[in-house]
Chain A
Amino acid sequence: KQEVTQIPAALSVPEGENLVLNCSFTDSAIYNLQWFRQDPGKGLTSLLLIQSSQREQTSGRLNASLDKSSGRSTLYIAASQPGDSATYLCAVRAYSGAGSYQLTFGKGTKLSVIP
């Protein structure tokens, strides 16, 4: 059974700092990996999706990398801002064996950016 682990569980940084969030998964037979942002009381917003054949994706101040063979991904946030404060979730997509390509999520990293 696929398991996704995110480290650290929580992170507090001063504004302007660069930071890295880590995600690891146990089964490398994935189709893609997705990073989401979740604000309190809100749904999930997709930030970056990396297909299994890709090594990284970039969007603005965000850069996500994928090392499928070692089961790891990192989300790099440059020049953090207070508005980046949220919970960041990592999810991998794999075939469930029961008819769908399921997303398996980690528990998330709660990020606080201090002004």
Chain B
Amino acid sequence: GAGVSQTPSNKVTEKGKYVELRCDPISGHTALYWYRQSLGQGPEFLIYFQGTGAADDSGLPNDRFFAVRPEGSVSTLKIQRTERGDSAVYLCASSRGLAESTDTQYFGPGTRLTVL
């Protein structure tokens, strides 16, 4: 595709509900990242996929957060039992994956999650 796309663009849910956020990376990009950006803060790393596997999930805040990328393309970030503190913009990025230390990451527009 032309760029990284994320759906939905906005999600409003109630405390305790389950949500799924979707990311479509740039076609051919093997590396995929999820970040969370709270109001007035910079994005914070959540998880990194190389292909289908989560190479680094050290940024996930707790076990309510989970992400998958079953076919090495689209990824879904899943949040169980949402809390008000989960409200933030969730950003997805992808890169070629040839040299992770130097590749440019291309970001999607984000999903704004609001937990009431």
Pair A43/B45 contact, Cβ less than 8 Å: no
Pair B100/A103 contact, Cβ less than 8 Å: no
What is the minimal beta-carbon distance from B95 to any residue of chain A, in angstroms? 10
Interface positions, chain A 43-85, Cβ under 8 Å from B, are 43-46, 49, 51
Also in contact, A108 and B42, with CB within 8 A (given A100-B56, A101-B101): yes
Categorize the interface residue count of chain A.
20 to 34
| Chain B window 45-62, contacts with chain A (Cβ cutoff 8 Å), 1 for yes, 0 for no | 100100000011011000
Residue in A45, A46, A100, A108 with the greatest tally of chain B CB atoms within 10 Å: A100
Interface positions, chain B 82-116, Cβ under 8 Å from A, are 91, 93, 100-102, 104-110, 112
**CB nearest neighbor in B for A87:** B42
Pair A42/B109 contact, Cβ less than 8 Å: yes
Pair B56/A98 contact, Cβ less than 8 Å: yes
Pair B55/A45 contact, Cβ less than 8 Å: no
What is the minimal beta-carbon distance from B22 to any residue of chain A, in angstroms? 15
Pair A101/B40 contact, Cβ less than 8 Å: no
Also in contact, A32 and B102, with CB within 8 A (given A43-B91, A43-B107): yes
**CB nearest neighbor in A for B49:** A100
Pair B101/A45 contact, Cβ less than 8 Å: no
Pair B48/A100 contact, Cβ less than 8 Å: yes
Pair A99/B48 contact, Cβ less than 8 Å: yes
| Chain A window 1-14, contacts with chain B (Cβ cutoff 8 Å), 1 for yes, 0 for no | 00010000000000
Also in contact, A106 and B100, with CB within 8 A (given A43-B108, A99-B55): no
Nearest 4 CB-CB pairings of A with B? A105-B42, A100-B56, A99-B56, A98-B58
Q: Which residues of B contact A (CB under 8 A)?
A: 4, 33, 35, 40-45, 48, 55-56, 58-59, 91, 93, 100-102, 104-110, 112
Q: Which residues of A contact B (CB under 8 A)?
A: 4, 31-32, 34, 36, 41-46, 49, 51, 89, 91, 93, 95-96, 98-108
